[in-house]
A and B are shown apart, each in its own frame.
Chain A
């Protein structure tokens, strides 16, 4: 960091991490490209989920007029600002589509039952339509995200009430579009790894994990912003308390949705439906599932029942970081057993690390660059005063 310079300095740490990740990924192309493609998909989808959850949170706060969230909105909108990066980051997945997805592979390579399902779903599961849909999803999210961000910056300049009303309408419509796009994106990018299997709740499951990840990241970032003096003195335990209560809700929502999917399939015990769980109920995948039940539900649930934890900056920051790790493992558990060669797993974890570093590094570089010139507080928002003195008492 050069002294006296007001230009945005290059965010050193994210760039180094991205470069390190890129180096590992390039090496991976030569060592095991298919394993790398799976690792990259997990990294991409889990990081994107956090950003999408944040987008949903901003829209929910706009629609409901959540006062407590106003002081945190700029921090959230800076996370949303990374969405264009995710459009670029999707490219490797689209390039690897033939290696990753059985429906894109040659029909002769498929097992008979899978081949039948793939042929039946051919009008939906084909590469051109898959690419078009992917573009539609990302275009929708980027359009929503940029509109929300621009409105927030315009509010700082002027006609706050009219913009507030416009954003409420946009967010209400945006949430509908968001619900559809996130569901179909999870069907396309994730569930279609097993083309013969389907679960109608799959998109909601992905969304539940996304919200947990988003609120966890917000907790980490809010505590960081507070420590660095980006947020004023009055912001603290009360806003964190509100955030933590919502996080508790979504931790419960996540386990509720996950269990709903399990109980429906477990009760019916239909072979075509249970394949997805059969592979996950064995060996290492079973152990990882148990880790998720404990780490993604029991531990955060018990911790978030305690009032003093919900109001503590250190505790919420640590819990947020922990849940982000769990969120990644959750997506890992959802995708990897269905990935090519996923049944017989072992090794290659450096590729997982490389892909995660690349995606996180690029996203945080864009985050750091785009937030450099933006105010940390929505100074034009009519609710800012109320939000600064918000109390959960």
Chain B
């Protein structure tokens, strides 16, 4: 599947310090840019204000379904389809059913969280446009990158180059659309 990231290309600026990057991010989000991405070797505070993930809602619903299915399958097998009298024990044994129900809930919820994260983060992703930039690997050592998606509704080619240059980055790179 072709990656949807930066289908229209992107403008990237390289900085030598975390402070320059966070200031750049603040300046750009104040101007109204929304499709910003940053690359930094260390976690940074006060970055792009992000929307809260919807993943917890999905995890909750799938977990609930997992519990219901787990309970139903026990009820169906033990109490409905194949009831067996073992020592006079009740066929519909609620306390005993609760343990697999709990396990089923946890299993479904954690699978939803695991798979859901990969789907939302669009992983695995063996190739990304930034890999084409020479020296980009220093983003894991001592360089800080800001990327502006060219599809950002606020992004106009002339202005974006001017605005990024005004921040005096070490390098300014334009990733062309493929």
Q: Contact residues of A with B, CB < 8 Å?
A: 259, 262-263, 266-267, 305
B98 and A259 contact, CB distance less than 8 A: yes
A267 to B99, CA, bound (A): 12
Smallest CB gap from A266: residue in B: B95
Instruction: Determine the residue in chain A with the shortest Cβ distance to B88.
Output: A269
> Smallest CB-CB separation from A265: which chain B residue?
B95
Complexed CA–CA distance, A263 and B100 (Å): 13
Question: Which residues in B have some Cβ–Cβ distance to A below 8 Å?
Answer: 60, 95-96, 98-99
Q: What is the minimal beta-carbon distance from B110 to any residue of chain A, in angstroms?
A: 15
Q: How far is the CA of A259 from the CA of B97 in the complex (A)?
A: 12
Nearest-CB residue, chain B, relative to A267: B96
CB distance from A238 to the nearest CB of B (A): 14
Inter-chain contact A263/B95, CB cutoff 8 Å: yes
Closest chain-A Cβ to B143's Cβ sits at a distance in Å of 25
A305 x B96 contact (CB < 8 A): no
Q: Give every chain A residue within 8 A of B96 (Cβ-Cβ).
A: 263, 266-267
Residues of chain A lying within 8 A (CB to CB) of residue B99: 263
Nearest CB in chain B: distance from A38 CB, A: 29
User: What is the bound-complex CA distance between A353 and B178, given in angstroms?
Assistant: 77
Q: A266-B95, A266-B96 are in contact. List 4 more A-B contacts (CB 8 A).
A: A259-B95, A263-B96, A263-B98, A263-B99
Which 8 A/B pairs are nearest by Cβ-Cβ distance?
A266-B95, A263-B95, A262-B95, A263-B99, A267-B96, A259-B98, A305-B60, A263-B96
Q: Could you name 12 residue pairs across A and B whose Cβ atoms are closer than 8 Å? A: A259-B95, A259-B98, A262-B95, A263-B95, A263-B96, A263-B98, A263-B99, A266-B95, A266-B96, A267-B95, A267-B96, A305-B60
CB distance from A311 to the nearest CB of B (A): 12
The complex places the Cα of A267 from the Cα of B95 at a distance, in Å, of 9
Residue of B nearest to A269 (CB): B89
Neighbouring A residues of B60 by C-beta, 8 Å: 305
In the assembly, what is the distance between CA of A266 and CA of B99, in Å? 13
Give bound CA distance, A305 to B60, whole Å: 9
Assembly CA distance A266 to B60 (angstroms): 30
Q: Which residues of A contact B98 (CB under 8 A)?
A: 259, 263
Closest B residue to A259 by beta carbon equals B98
Q: Kindly list chain B residues whose C-beta atoms are within 8 Å of the C-beta of A262.
A: 95
Residue of B nearest to A305 (CB): B60
Residue of B nearest to A263 (CB): B95
Note all chain B residues with C-beta closer than 8 A to A305: 60
How far apart are B77's CB and chain A's nearest CB, in angstroms?
18
> Which residues does chain B contribute within 8 Å of A266, judged by CB atoms?
95-96
Complex Cα spacing A305 to B109, Å: 14
Residue among B95, B96, B98, B99 having the largest count of chain A Cβ atoms under 10 Å: B95
Task: Compute how far the CA of A263 lies from the CA of B98 in the bound complex, rounded to whole angstroms.
Answer: 9
Cα distance A259–B99 in the bound complex, in angstroms: 10
CA distance A266 to B97 in the complex (A): 12
Give CA–CA (A192, B99) in the complex, Å.
Answer: 30
Chain B residue at smallest Cβ distance from A391: B45
Contacts of A263 in B (CB 8 A): 95-96, 98-99
Residues of B near A259 (CB, < 8 A) are 95, 98
Q: How far is the CA of A101 from the CA of B95 in the complex (A)?
A: 31
Question: CA–CA, A263 to B95, complex, Å?
Answer: 6
Task: Specify which chain B residues have a CB less than 8 angstroms from the CB of A267 in the assembled complex.
Answer: 95-96
Question: In this complex, what residue of A is CB-closest to B50?
Answer: A393
Q: CB-CB < 8 A to B95: which residues of A?
A: 259, 262-263, 266-267
A10 to B98, CA, bound (A): 52
CA–CA, A246 and B96, complex, Å: 28
Minimum C-beta distance from A44 to chain B (A): 32
**Smallest CB–CB gap between B149 and chain A, Å?**
24
| Distance of A259 from chain B, by nearest CB (Å) | 7
